[in-house]
Amino acid sequence: RITTALQRDSESAEGFRSLDYNAAIQKVASQIKQIQQQHGNSAVGVLSGASLTTEKAYLMGKFARVYLKTPYIDYNGRLCMVSAAAANKKAFGIDRAANCWDDIVGADVVWISGANIAECAPITTNYVWQAREMGAKIIVVDPRITPIARTADVFLPIKPGRDAALFNGVLQIMIEHGWLDHDFIQNHTVGFDSIAEHVAQWTPDRTAEVCGISKRKLMQAAELWGQASSSFLLHARGIEHHTNGVENCLGAINIVLASGRIGRPNCGYATITGQANGQGGREHGQKCDQLPGARDISNPQHREYISKLWQIDEAELPGPGVDCYQMMRKIHAGEIKMLLTLCFNPKVSLPDNEYVSAALDKLDFMASIDFFMSETARHADIVLPGSLQEEDEGVVTQIEGRVIKINKAVEPPGDAREDWKIIKDLTQALDRTHGFDFNSPREIFDELRAASKGGTADYSGITYEKIDAQGGVFWPCPTDDHPGTRRLFEPGSHNPVANGAGPFYFPDGKARFNISEHRAPSEVTDEEYPVILTTGRVVSQFLSGTQTRRIGPLVDQYPEPLIEIHPLLAEKLGVVDGKWTTVKTRRNEITLKAHVVKTIRPDTVFVPYHWPGRRSANKLTISAQDPISKIPEFKVCACRIYRAEEPPHYENEAEPRQHPKPKLEILK
């Protein structure tokens, strides 16, 4: 745990030495001033995270744009839900789960695409189990037989990157058999005829061939979905981490809209967040193209509203920035000279991460706010000691759009500070304190409420007291006496965009069908690289592993990354279970032990991404991005597999410091 400020020191055994906190703040502020004087305001960039409370996320956006005057801020949610967010806005006009999770329980059919919920979202899994106990049928789509897939009524082991094709094929079958809600399509949607024409080419035979699945299973899934009286569709990164991620999500939305099963009880659609505040973290300003309230930073009216609230001239408010990976490219190009990071470990999390590491080394100056010495923080010149969630208070927004509150349990140790206090200290050191005189998360939240008022993500009627009284409040909640919106798109629900014209967030109140075009992944297999590599999570690790790789029992459960490979492919390549095996892509190679399992497609291997250095799956992944959402294509690239001649050498890597397990005391 980092409990003091640290300064890079090449003569120290660990590369850093302790530094007085106030001196560290002054050094960071001095570098900001110097670099901006020499190279302009946009020479400083900020990276933050979706595990921050919403107050901190709001604060980071305001700090970057008002006090640093830079357009360059983005967050690690860029690697999470942004494809789904873009699709939601294109189809519904608003970015939030359509329904509360209670509606899962009453659904006749639950469709789960690209979401290993039993290991990655166990609370959601509990709702699915309850639905199953009530008689629901479960459809699971995944290249791997995940724990939830083992229990599915229909399991489709799809070839990675073929999700748009699958949804087009399902919609074609629905149209062919008349499994449509014609009244809903006629009265509440736009664009169905174009979609129907587009999917006509996706016959069951073609769909099954492209997706690498059984035609019989495809027909079963389409029939269950098409004939259900109520249903809930869930997906996660499995369909989103693609250069076609937005269109994959639009394909999922199309089969929901065609069924008409949205905006009413026991019927819904949602994406599953990957972090504690994946929803709230992108709504209030730390995303490169958004302002608080999920406002568009390019919209003149939205800019005017926020500028007035922040008491700055609209011309002073920077325009859209760029995504976090493009920021790495700008560092390489010499346009960004300094980086401030909080709650983001890009050296492990971003694709083709040796390129990322080289970018961090090119910076003139880097500062990190963290509570552990992450792999990214090791590149910093100054590390400021931040706080855990348990050491602060604030709100986060759950997957379903429910705003809940985290209460402070303990004080930060040593010189560690709550993150918002560190940012406040930086504004004071910069002599830019106007409008930044917050003394508590509550004061930040009150300004956030005002900033969100009138936006689609309207929190203005939410208070800490209302959250406590109601066990959480669903946004939008536009007034103090509004109870919150548990279910979007219901008749009569709050919708300032349609103004009574209909349930969806467009002026005519109608949802949009969108063409979902199937395109091949950016990198396809060939003779040299004949195997598909996909990446993801394991149950005992979280994101870049900064926290979980320091927890003994979790490390014991999955001590090192493994290469999951099917027995048929292993036999063909001479790979042996438990033996060192190399995965090589066009970017790099890593050597891990093979784990021969029957739970993955014979043309695909899986590697988890939680580890750094020579064990990092993101040494292999490709930096190709979705053209709309800018999400990287983590879920598919081409590789080749072969037995390693000798074990890898990891001993030179800087490993997280292992702490002894706590002594257990029996309480009488």
* DSSP states along 433-491: -TT----SHHHHHHHHHHHHTTSSS--TT--HHHHHHHTSEESP--STT----SSTT-T
Q: How far is CA 226 from CA 133, 221, 234, 337, 445, in A?
A: 21, 8, 16, 54, 44
What is the architecture, at CATH level 2, of domain 531-643? Beta Barrel (2.40)
Question: How many whole angstroms separate alpha carbon 256 and alpha carbon 189?
Answer: 11
Say what the pLDDT of residue 555 is: 87
Position 582 pLDDT exceeds 60: yes
Q: pLDDT-based confidence at 24, cuts 50/70/90? A: very high
Query: What's the pLDDT score for residue 352?
Result: 96
Confidence category of residue 186, pLDDT binned at 50, 70, 90? very high
- According to DSSP, the β-strands at 394-397 and 189-190 are unpaired
The predicted pLDDT at position 594 comes to 97
Contact 168, 519 (CB under 8 A): no
* 468, HSE (Cβ side, Cα atoms, 13 Å): 6
CA–CA gap between residue 152 and residue 154 (Å, rounded)? 5
Strands 16-19 and 5-8: antiparallel
Q: What CATH homologous superfamily does 82-272 map to? A: Dimethylsulfoxide Reductase, domain 2 (3.40.228.10)
Q: Residue 183, class by beta-carbon neighbours within 10 Å (0-12 exposed, 13-18 middle, 19+ buried)? A: exposed
Going from N- to C-terminal start, the domains of the chain cover 5-80+277-389+418-440, 82-272, 531-643
What's the chain's Rg over C-alpha atoms?
Answer: 25
What is d(CA 311, CA 307) in angstroms, rounded to the nearest whole number?
Answer: 6
Q: Check pLDDT > 80 for residue 35.
A: yes
Model confidence over 387-406: pLDDT tens digits? 999 999 999 999 999 999 99
Please tell us whether the domain made up of 5-80+277-389+418-440 is placed in CATH 3.40.50.740: yes
pLDDT at 357 over 50: yes
Question: Torsions phi, psi of 595, nearest 5?
Answer: -125, 100
Report which residue type is found at 165. Answer: A
Span 240-258, mean pLDDT? 98
Q: What is the pLDDT of residue 69?
A: 97
**What whole-number distance in Å separates Cα of residue 393 and Cα of residue 396?**
10
